[in-house]
Structure 1
Amino acid sequence: MSIQIFILSKLMEDNNYPYKLKKQLSEPIPLDQLGGLTESKLYYHFDSLAKQGLIETVKIIKEEHRPDKQVFAITEKGREELPKKIYKLFENAKAISDMVVGLESIKYVDRERVVEILEKKIKNIKAHWEQISHLEKQIQIDEEHKKFAEFVSGYVSTRTEHTIYWLEELIKRIKQGDI
């Protein structure tokens, strides 16, 4: 989904073609390589978006001794669907790293709604942590497994605190307009 959001967001700015977008993704930081985005995956998502009626071919550039370049534009339906896809990305994200493309495209959605989604995530994480904490107190752990249980508990506790901290930081920065 994030690749499709990236494509639609770029087409909101200007008409474009797949190879040019891939090149933009790789400079100056090779985000395409970091994300495992190949040209074939990018073309697949362009094709998928076209089949959904979210983008359309507006021009074909013919060059001698080179394949034709299809230039795409976002459709009205694509403009309507982009915010829905961005909200869904935030709702489904398991970590902030899953939200990067949505954060990059935040100008196309209501920031307050994004904040509400993130606040709900924090609330759910805290509720889940509370539930787990109560279980930990009820379980009897024998000496053989005590050190392992302490390790796992420490890891989960630290990771949960870390996640909450960074979600709260993200919310703060969105509210301040820094993101």
Structure 2
Amino acid sequence: MTDLRTDLHTDRLLLRRWRDTDLEPWAAMNADPEVREHLGAVLTREQSDASVARFEAEFDRRGYGWWAVEVRATGEFVGFAGLDEVDDGLPFTGVEIGWRLARPAWGHGYATEAARAVLAFGFETLALPEILAVTTAGNLRSQAVMRRIGMTTDPADDFDDPAEPEGPLRRNVLFRIAPSRG
């Protein structure tokens, strides 16, 4: 893979590769039932650490992935944001944007700010023709971020995640955005 720039900067945030010092706050996020409400069961420390190892391996392979998100003014790790290939088995393919923040970072506009930087990277650096976002039908906070960054949804694209049993995580909403021209 071509060596792409690895850090993304916004006014308040640094999206960067993962560090060993991120593992503990990341594990705390993944052990928080409120953070995991629309994602499934909380993760053990081992599962959380393994996810970072996968993120880094995918980043090395592709040149992009899930960046750790840090508040520039304080150096505090507050979550992740990035791009990933859509999981196999879903009724569509492409590249998906996503984010996850620790509860104390909610309500500060960080998800929107990070997502805008990720979209710019996806369209300007990777020249993607479209970026997707998926969340559960009940995750209104993430859907609000998707709308703020210009994504749109069509109810005809809503789907049941085949990997999820019946319940609140099964029904999902698909959002889309294409690069702006002009």
Per the normalisation by structure 2, the TM-score is 0.31
Q: Which has the higher strand share?
A: 2
| Higher share in helix | 1
Higher RCO (CA < 8 A, seq sep 6+): 1
Largest Rg, 1 or 2: 1
